[in-house]
Structure 1
Amino acid sequence: MAWDGTYWVKLRRQLTDEEKTRQLRVDRSASTRVKTDYSAFAMNDAWLELTNNAYVQRGILTYGFLMLLPVSIMFVCGAIWAMRNPPPNTHGAELTFAMAFMVCFMLFGCCMVLVCLWGLHQENFTWTRIPIRFNHRTRMVHAFRGAGAKGVISVPWDKAFFFIEKRPKDPISRGTPYGLRCHVLDDQGRVSQSFTVGRRVYTIDDETTENGRSIVHELNDQFEFIRRYMEGGPSAVPAPDLVPIEVSLSNSCKLAFRNDKALLAEGNVVATALVWVLKPFLMLIALLHYIGMRTSREPVWPADIDASPVSMARA
């Protein structure tokens, strides 16, 4: 198992039947429409740079682990206090058993503290973004970070395995998330590395319904934008609405509240109610997104990937 910034991904295995069924082929049109769905950082005459799925949801891990950290510290402090103040009239085997239990309780609390610190580090004091670069000149795909690699993942466009990934329901919004994922396969067809691409979509409706299916199909539109760019360059696709890379609270709010429009467009009463109920929570997530960005540093591509002279669409 390896962490890719969004989920734990099982590596060194064969593709599942579901992954094969949901595959989006690089040599076949996936949609009649093309759009990036606000997931492009930059585009020029050599490469297209997109977000990964984790960029928009940044702040959620921080929120969860900030809530858990004080509880974990209380476990540790409580266990230490209990060991320093054993119950009166307790001796022998009974006291030994009680102390052993408190030691286990303290170790459990310490492990929880370490997990919380690990989770907070995933979004703070790290990289401001995890870009995915598609170079149509070299026909290569480069992921700055992903599962199975400490540095850059590189895979030829024609050998990349893209598919629509379905994840478990979000416990907060009750929507089902879908995302575009790329597996890197070895010579035996096993998954050796993996990373996400673009912007995830959410739907409360099942994908077998017309409304749910249309929302999930937006991932086909995102993939088709990438595919056409890789085949024909920037002239083959419309100019995308670029995601601002400048660190500001305003930009973090734009990302946090953009999903609201999609949920409201479903016309679902439950979805509409959730949008308004969750607004304070999303405001907090936007603030945590901004703090995470402010404490992190800009990613720097290796010289061999960033060497080609280009005409930039964005300065």
Structure 2
Amino acid sequence: MGPKGFLVNRPLSKFEREHHFEINQPASQKVHYDLSLIKLNSTFIECVDKWYSMRGFMAMAMTAFGLVMLYGLWAAISISIKHDDLFLAVVAVVPAVGASFMVRFFLLDAFTYTHYPIRFNRKNRQVYAFRRDGTVLKAGWEEFYWTIYKAEHVGGNQPASQKVHYDLSLIKLNSTFIECVDKWYSMRGFVAMAGSVFATILIVVMILALYAVVTSGFLGYLLLFPVALVFVWLPLKMLFSDAFTYTHYPIRFNRKNRQVYAFRRDGTVLKAGWADFYWTIYNTKLGLGGGDLNVMGHLLDKDGVKVKESIGLSLVDAGESGKQNQLMFFEFFRRYMEQGPEPVLEALKPMPLIMLPGIDHEKESWFFGWELLTASLKGMPVLQLLLQVFFLPISLFRWLVMRTSKIPQWPQWVEDECRIEPGDPWERDGRHRA
């Protein structure tokens, strides 16, 4: 139900279990209805569903983008027919594909139903819900598990898992702090490659349109120019969000002063208490296996709901096994902060602790970038071999991204607060690299 429906065939999260509503017990001393009611009588109450207040936004956005795409399609086809130009007929595929996606999302909002009502019948104790396909779900009031839905929360003093996992994400580890890369490190190069490919295609379209004007004298070819110009900014933005930035965005957990430091994209540093973060497993709802998962730390507003700032740990996974990996991954950092380096390294055994290759003071090599990409499919040698057709070009773009980006440097005040004791027996860094 709703534009994307709800995730089903999954276990209840810890948060959902903790916030389970007992239908025979008051949930609050006050009540609130949020202008959501259609009908109320002695037999039933009927309300709109979650998506009602959001209707129109998707249709508006898709109409705007769709009109631009359709304009480009019309211009390419009409000029191609008039001048018998095969190239423009091929170019028309680009706006045609874009327009088809816009129409697909537009039709999720328009030409459906005005709303998807839910009816609660108190006399026969049944709930009726109107589905997107026009069918009706009917189930008993007592059969529903009523809860507040939210991404699963982890953290605090309770273990997230009995095992720990670090996913080749560590830059430094010692008795004072542990430093790791963030969520985007393993993906570097891919965004730059995708942005470069699409930007090149659109720039070529603009150049050819100008060339056609010069050679034929027909100004109609210029109709393709504004379409390509409108859309070229997005791939260029993708390219420059990956290249010409920083090689990585480190996160440092200081167990002695209980602070977390995160290097922002603009070069500033976020500092907040370990206990101030709301640690949770975030689901992007994109990708395979029900969506990509990763551990996020949110700083919440005073209301405990609004997110003011977030940091993301590096491991990205999917599915139920991916969720377990995320719990083990967070447990590595939680156990370090709560118990120290010795217990967490003891929990790793017999797995060795392997550090990243000194990326805090030198840029990674092309070989290491390629190796890191290939290792993302560890245990699947056939896929590792077959996907080299993607890994090799991504690794080249990753190398270019690293060459054009700066190595982040912590400000001196952070280094002063994270001073390592001389002769620390637990000190690990790039000398313990793969």
Range of TM-score over shorter length? 0.7 to 0.9
Name the amino acid aligned to 2:175. D
* Cα distance between partner residues in 2 of 1:83 and 1:288: 34
- Preserved CA contact (<8 Å) 2:184 2:314: no
- Deviations, residues 148-167 of structure 1 (Å, cap 9, x unaligned): x7622222111101111222
* Cα distance between partner residues in 2 of 1:150 and 1:288: 23
SS in 1 for 2:401: helix
SS in 2 for 1:242: coil
- Residue 414 of structure 2: which of 297, 305, 312 is its match? 305
- Residue 200 of structure 1: which of 316, 324, 332 is its match? 316
The Cα shift of 1:115 comes to 2.4
Higher relative contact order (CA 8 A, sep 6+): 1
- Residue 270 of structure 2: which of 150, 153, 157 is its match? 153
SS in 1 for 2:313: strand
- Residue 338 of structure 2: which of 209, 231, 234 is its match? 231
1:44 counterpart = 2:174: yes
Matches within 5 A, 1:20-169: 20-81=150-211, 87=218, 102=223, 105-145=224-264, 151-169=268-286
Match in the other structure for 2:5: none
Name the amino acid aligned to 1:135. N
1:241 counterpart = 2:361: no
- Preserved CA contact (<8 Å) 2:163 2:331: yes
4+ aligned runs moved over 3 Å, structure 1: 78-87, 173-176, 272-276
The farther-off stretch of 305-314 and 213-222 is 305-314
- Deviations, residues 180-226 of structure 1 (Å, cap 9, x unaligned): 11111121221111121122124xxxx3xxxxx23321111110010
Higher-Rg structure is 2
* Cα distance between partner residues in 2 of 1:300 and 1:186: 29
Tell me the TM-score normalized by structure 2. Answer: 0.56
- Preserved CA contact (<8 Å) 1:30 1:220: yes
Length, aligned pairs only: 265
Match in the other structure for 2:405: 296
Tell me the TM-score normalized by structure 1. Answer: 0.75
The Cα shift of 1:117 comes to 2.4
Name the amino acid aligned to 1:114. W
The Cα shift of 1:61 comes to 0.5
Structure 1: gaps of 5 or more residues? 1-16, 88-94, 208-212, 265-271
CA RMSD of aligned residues (A): 2.6
* Cα distance between partner residues in 2 of 1:80 and 1:224: 58
* Cα distance between partner residues in 1 of 2:227 and 2:260: 42
Structure 2: gaps of 5 or more residues? 1-147, 346-351
- Preserved CA contact (<8 Å) 1:41 1:49: yes
- Preserved CA contact (<8 Å) 1:40 1:49: yes
- Deviations, residues 88-120 of structure 1 (Å, cap 9, x unaligned): xxxxxxx8xx59x82xx4233223333222211
- Preserved CA contact (<8 Å) 2:151 2:281: no
* Cα distance between partner residues in 2 of 1:160 and 1:231: 14
SS in 1 for 2:294: strand
